[in-house]
Structure 1
């Protein structure tokens, strides 16, 4: 479906009641979540919503036990105290509290890049070849896996976001250091064939794929380029009309296959040599900072930041 958004369904902020903006937490992405949360909180209040910040899951549990909120705008990022791994979604399901974003299954699955890839491959959706590495894997196995995949490769934790713990490895000399870095984070490790070409992302809002964004960093699109640098270029739409239709349909199919809903973002690569698209991952609680991509794509179709936050929240009604 192309980016033709239906009109907002609600106009009265009182319909939302008292809203918790869940932010911060204890994951490796805490600072990004705090920044996102401040922006969301300001936008909702500007539209008349009775919104209040809640830092982390423990604080949310206490607040919901006291019935202080009617619904939750979840802008926690990551796992281990973040809000993207299905844990907080399960809590809110159990308590019967409406919340933004994907449910338990979609959140948990998308947080695990390896198992997301397994689902996509089972459905014939394109994603780069990969090897699953257990924690404590020996160097010989790592080097053999890289040779089998074909260098260059990407090495990363399977369950982190925001490029945390990710390394580009052009040759075997960098493999041991890349594995050591990724192993600082919990869970399994993922070694993935590196696709050389254009980095693209597609925001999802309801059943609509927003225009793609082609990311053109000065160097590698790492944590610094995502959240701090001002020289990264974002081209939106990132493709011609035919490419937009193709990548939008693929992003929606990947999002739904992972059991996701509400809103999110699908990251892809387009191979420079063949033009083929490859799915990388799904983000079920994308950043809402000044550098974030879903707000940029929504702005391309005339949806400003305040309206975007409103549209996400109204999905809980």
Structure 2
């Protein structure tokens, strides 16, 4: 059984009487225990795909399955945690009530319900606002409440749509750490993020979508390990041969992976402080290249 199976999904919306295709033959899968980043520009089709997975929308064609069951089956969502980009929580409830009621929906009651509710209120730093109405909370606090609601059920599959949205830098780091803990404990994670560095750090694989079509699917480690050219940045007074000025006292240069054993000691001998050593072609670079190529092809097709 796979955690997520999507096959040939098509979905169109009407805009001023004209059909606009949001998904065009989208297919991918997520294995149990995997961590998969779902990336793409705004409007690429990420949220539409997730809404179909959770039964909020119906596809025009194709099939979507969640935990081995058709997405239309409510039982497919039992034990699955989900946080949309803009959580819609009942504004008359409190964070304590939201978490506790979510646990009850998944069959967790009594003292275990209370224990988990209190634990996650503390874990996500919302205990001080536990009995305030959702309507009176900031966007960040509402996001934390939704995340606590999803984590508290100890989900077999956790689906997060832009989980860092509305959070301050401390909150973003905290949520990234929670995702990493969940992943390392063997949980299955499927998440959307515009922060591609987080995808590189938190995902085993990525699925890239643009204009409703899947453009790339690959292992993150496989992508990064396949790059022979490395980008090196360091802080120093002068630039070594082959390095150019980046900003302030920062210098950058490219070298082959096999040359790092020579280049890095040379930087340290020159009293430089190494800032970054990473593959030249990161996920961000691949994303940019795919999007640009897709747009060029679209312009040529319409001309």
User: Could you state the TM-score of these two structures normalised by the residue count of structure 1?
Assistant: 0.29
- Pick the structure with more strand per residue: 2
The TM-score normalised by the length of structure 2 is: 0.30
Structure exhibiting the larger radius of gyration computed from Cα positions? 2
